[in-house]
């Protein structure tokens, strides 16, 4: 590595003189683009993650709108089926790996050190590296759209042999980009675990940690456990495509079903990776605006851990129609149904927290409440999908699309937005614009339900997923879904407006921006200075 990266102490000292305002012991950061390329500060890296994920959210959203525009009415009007398949695939890949996951990592970067009273992440340079891998990975991935044969067109689940023998030439680049994104996730997870286990404020036990910290700790272990499995399966694809192996090619004695087992052994924990931190955010927001402590803190921790453990035992419920033996189908049906128990416990705890509280409806609370209702609806359809005999009818239809969008959009995405509205005062020193945020919330709620609720019906009525054109009886549901999608998509511009306005100005927020908020982040000034908790705070257990 070049000796001047990161800056040498002498450089830092020479620039200290111009660095009035920030902590005395710290130098001013380099100016311009270098500042962001070289930063090791958890707040700056957190912001980078969040901005990156917001950009990717819009790119993935544009892909979704291309899909919805084509599906607005029967017949092929705008694009060709090949391109449609690239759009559904890219939409899924970008939203999962480049929007939702980095958004949670960004929130983790910003908030975990603040919530546990640590000065920064345990491994700041690694932190910088794990972020900067992401733009590399996803510029590579997006560039495949311009390559001969087009980008990935086999769905975000990239089942072999469609993704190997029958895939476009750009698939090798797709594999490379997923490897890079995977390394980024693993490094990020290691960093978060090291931070949480080693850098808590004196006196803060594990069972004192805010639930956002707890859920991220558990999520990090899931990431470390399953990302290597993803790396393994895409490496096997790489070998099949370029080096003549036959892991997934039946003609060479390979096994296409093995691909699915490996993929979903990664894939199912992956969906919990995208929802557990959301549980943590909602568990912070609901008590704050109900002005009442979270009900059942310990059971929340145990429920999160149970969900994480169970997530390793349910993967084949994505594969009920591949021809599993009866015993396997029964096993995976039972384990999947079991997940409803800890998930139910969480919902009951949130609602009991509301019960006899003193509730107000600021924007973060609105999003958190919508999360509880709409995530629960996604949970119900999940329970229905777990029932294997019925799943033979639901599988690979729009009912599944409705289900996972309910848990991912008004689930994970709403939780992220709730978190952003909740912590914006801490990040910027200003409250978000109340009216605009309300508009954003209500248009999003209406848009999301218009888009995804009719998909339950089109799926039950028999519409398969991932088709660019459909039979006439599905026309009405698709029309409503497309209108809803455009409403939801364009409403997100309001979100960008609120964030930009909030960065530039607005009503000043005190350190304790929300009256009842309890965690350590509310003890530092708003906006949080670049360096916080340089001397560890002494953790005070709440009185209740």
Partner 1 sequence: MRTLLVWLAGALSLAGSSQAALASGWNMPVGVTDLSREIYNLHMTIFWICVVIGVIVFAVMFYSLIRYRHAKGAKAANFHENTTVEVIWTAIPLLILVGMAVPATATLKKMYDTSDAELDVMVTGQQWRWHYEYLGEDVAFTSNMSTPRAQIRGDEPFGENYLLEVDQPLVLPINRKVRFLFTADDVIHAWWVPDFAVKQDTIPGFINENWVRINEPGIYRGQCAELCGRDHAFMPIVVHAMEEDDFDTWLAERKEAAAEEALGVEREWQKEELMERGEAVYASICASCHQPDGEGSPPAFPALAGNQRMLEDREWHTNVIIDGVSGTAMPAFRSTLNPVELAAVVTYTRNAWGNDTGSEVQPSTIAQRLGQ
**Residues with a known catalytic role:** 91, 120, 156, 184-185, 268, 270, 272, 283, 317-318, 343, 346, 465
Question: Of residues 32-91, which lie at the interface with partner 1 (CB under 8 A)?
Answer: 74-77, 81-82, 85
- Candidate residues 28, 38, 162, 503; the one interacting with partner 1 per rule CB under 8 A: 162
How many Cα atoms sit within 13 Å of 437 on the Cβ side? 24
Whole-number Å distance between alpha carbons of 90 and 151: 8
CB of 69 to partner 1, least distance (A): 15
Judged by CB under 8 A, which stretch of 20-28, 287-295, 419-427, 520-528 contacts partner 1?
A: 287-295
Judged by CB under 8 A, which stretch of 33-41, 130-138, 196-204, 295-303 contacts partner 1?
A: 295-303
Judged by CB under 8 A, which stretch of 5-13, 112-120, 175-183, 337-345 contacts partner 1?
A: 337-345
**489 near partner 1 (CB under 8 A):** no
Whole-number Å distance between alpha carbons of 388 and 327: 12
**322 near partner 1 (CB under 8 A):** yes
**474 near partner 1 (CB under 8 A):** yes
**383 near partner 1 (CB under 8 A):** yes
Question: Of residues 92-151, which lie at the interface with partner 1 (CB under 8 A)?
Answer: 148-149
**153 near partner 1 (CB under 8 A):** yes
**254 near partner 1 (CB under 8 A):** yes
CB of 214 to partner 1, least distance (A): 16
Q: How far is CA 280 from CA 210, 258, 416, 419, in A?
A: 8, 34, 10, 10
Q: How far is CA 226 from CA 214, 272, 328, 434, in A?
A: 19, 11, 21, 40
**497 near partner 1 (CB under 8 A):** no
CB of 233 to partner 1, least distance (A): 16
- Candidate residues 165, 172, 438, 523; the one interacting with partner 1 per rule CB under 8 A: 165
CB of 274 to partner 1, least distance (A): 21
- Check the CA dihedral 425-201-538-125 and report its sign: negative
Per-residue tokens: 40: 């090791």
Determine contact, residues 397/462, Cβ cutoff 8 Å. Answer: yes
- Candidate residues 269, 363, 468, 527; the one interacting with partner 1 per rule CB under 8 A: 468
Residues near partner 1 (CB under 8 A), total: 105
CB of 487 to partner 1, least distance (A): 7
**345 near partner 1 (CB under 8 A):** yes
- Candidate residues 5, 139, 206, 471; the one interacting with partner 1 per rule CB under 8 A: 471
Whole-number Å distance between alpha carbons of 380 and 419: 24
Whole-number Å distance between alpha carbons of 216 and 222: 10
**340 near partner 1 (CB under 8 A):** yes
Q: 101-116 and 171-198 are packed helices; what angle lies between their axes, rounded to 10 degrees?
A: 10
Looking at residue 209, the DSSP 8-state letter turns out to be S
CB of 502 to partner 1, least distance (A): 22
Judged by CB under 8 A, which stretch of 166-174, 183-191, 270-278, 416-424 contacts partner 1?
A: 166-174
Whole-number Å distance between alpha carbons of 292 and 348: 15
- Candidate residues 305, 480, 503, 524; the one interacting with partner 1 per rule CB under 8 A: 480
Whole-number Å distance between alpha carbons of 208 and 114: 14
Omega before residue 26 within 30° of 0, cis: no
Judged by CB under 8 A, which stretch of 42-50, 130-138, 175-183, 349-357 contacts partner 1?
A: 349-357
CB of 486 to partner 1, least distance (A): 10
CA dihedral 254, 262, 187, 99 (to 10 degrees): 110
- Candidate residues 299, 438, 449, 523; the one interacting with partner 1 per rule CB under 8 A: 299
- Candidate residues 291, 309, 434, 540; the one interacting with partner 1 per rule CB under 8 A: 291
- Candidate residues 116, 186, 281, 290; the one interacting with partner 1 per rule CB under 8 A: 290
Whole-number Å distance between alpha carbons of 329 and 314: 10
Residue 326 CB coordination number (10 Å):
8
Nearer to partner 1, 51 or 483 (CB): 483
Give the x/- contact pattern for partner 1 in 395-434, rule: CB under 8 A: xxx-------------------------------------
CB of 89 to partner 1, least distance (A): 9
Question: Of residues 170-229, which lie at the interface with partner 1 (CB under 8 A)?
Answer: none
Judged by CB under 8 A, which stretch of 174-182, 190-198, 377-385, 417-425 contacts partner 1?
A: 377-385
- Check the CA dihedral 171-172-173-176 and report its sign: positive
Determine contact, residues 128/297, Cβ cutoff 8 Å. Answer: no
CB of 414 to partner 1, least distance (A): 16
Residue 524 burial (10 A CB sphere; 0-12, 13-18, 19+): middle
CA proximity to 61, closest of 408, 531, 455: 408
Judged by CB under 8 A, which stretch of 46-54, 190-198, 459-467, 523-531 contacts partner 1?
A: 459-467
Q: Which residues of 408-435 are buried (b: 16+ CB within 10 A; e: fewer)?
A: bbbbbbbbbbbbbbbbbbbbbbbbbbee
Determine contact, residues 253/246, Cβ cutoff 8 Å. Answer: yes
Tokens 């930063």 belong to which residue? 39
CB of 170 to partner 1, least distance (A): 11
- Candidate residues 457, 501, 523, 530; the one interacting with partner 1 per rule CB under 8 A: 457
- Candidate residues 13, 139, 235, 476; the one interacting with partner 1 per rule CB under 8 A: 476
Whole-number Å distance between alpha carbons of 413 and 345: 22
Per-residue tokens: 534: 């340089």
Whole-number Å distance between alpha carbons of 272 and 256: 25
């Amino acid at each position: 590595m070049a000796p001047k990266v990161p800056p040498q102490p002498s450089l830092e000292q020479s620039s200290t003189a111009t660095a009035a305002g920030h902590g005395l012991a710290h130098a001013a950061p380099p100016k311009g683009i270098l500042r962001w390329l070289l930063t090791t500060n958890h707040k700056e890296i957190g912001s980078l993650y969040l901005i990156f994920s917001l950009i990717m959210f819009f790119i993935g959203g544009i892909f979704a709108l291309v899909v919805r525009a084509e599906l607005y009415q029967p017949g092929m009007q705008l694009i060709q089926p090949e391109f449609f398949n690239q759009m559904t695939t890219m939409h899924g890949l970008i939203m999962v790996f480049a929007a939702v996951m980095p958004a949670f990592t960004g929130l983790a970067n910003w908030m975990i050190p603040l919530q546990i009273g640590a000065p920064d992440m345990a491994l700041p340079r690694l932190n910088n590296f794990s972020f900067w891998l992401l733009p590399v990975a996803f510029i590579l991935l997006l560039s495949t759209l311009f390559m001969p044969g087009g980008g990935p067109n086999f769905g975000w689940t990239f089942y072999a042999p469609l993704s190997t023998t029958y895939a476009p030439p750009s698939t090798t680049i797709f594999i490379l980009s997923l490897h890079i994104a995977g390394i980024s996730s693993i490094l990020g997870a290691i960093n978060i675990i090291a931070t949480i286990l080693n850098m808590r404020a004196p006196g803060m036990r594990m069972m004192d940690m805010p639930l956002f910290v707890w859920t991220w700790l558990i999520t990090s272990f899931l990431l470390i456990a399953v990302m290597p499995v993803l790396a393994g399966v895409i490496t096997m694809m790489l070998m099949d495509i370029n080096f003549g192996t036959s892991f997934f090619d039946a003609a060479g004695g390979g096994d296409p079903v093995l691909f699915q087992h490996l993929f979903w052994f990664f894939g199912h924990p992956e969906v919990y990776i995208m929802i557990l931190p959301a549980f943590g955010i909602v568990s912070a927001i609901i008590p704050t605006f109900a002005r009442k402590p979270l009900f059942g803190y310990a059971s929340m921790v145990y429920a999160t851990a149970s969900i994480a453990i169970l997530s390793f035992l349910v993967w084949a419920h994505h594969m009920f129609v591949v021809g599993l033996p009866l015993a396997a189908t029964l096993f995976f049906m039972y384990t999947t149904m079991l997940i409803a128990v800890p998930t139910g416990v969480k919902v009951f705890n949130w609602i009991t927290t509301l019960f006899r509280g003193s509730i107000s409806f600021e924007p973060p609370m609105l999003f958190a409440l919508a999360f509880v209702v709409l995530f629960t609806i996604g949970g119900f359809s999940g329970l229905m999908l777990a029932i294997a005999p019925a799943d033979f009818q639901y599988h690979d239809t729009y009912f599944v699309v409705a289900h996972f969008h309910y848990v991912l959009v008004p689930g994970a995405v709403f939780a992220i937005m709730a978190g952003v509205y909740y912590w914006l005062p801490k990040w910027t020193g200003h409250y978000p614009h109340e009216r605009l945020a309300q508009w954003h919330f209500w248009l999003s709620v209406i848009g999301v339900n218009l888009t995804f609720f009719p998909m339950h019906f089109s799926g039950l009525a028999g519409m398969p997923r991932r088709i660019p054109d459909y039979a006439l009886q599905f026309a009405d549901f698709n029309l409503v879904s497309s209108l809803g999608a455009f409403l939801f998509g364009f409403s997100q511009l309001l979100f960008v407006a609120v964030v930009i306005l909030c960065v530039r100005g607005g009503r000043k927020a005190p350190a304790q921006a929300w009256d009842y908020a309890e965690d350590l982040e509310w003890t530092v000034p708003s906006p949080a200075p670049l360096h916080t908790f340089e001397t560890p705070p002494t953790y005070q257990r709440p009185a209740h």
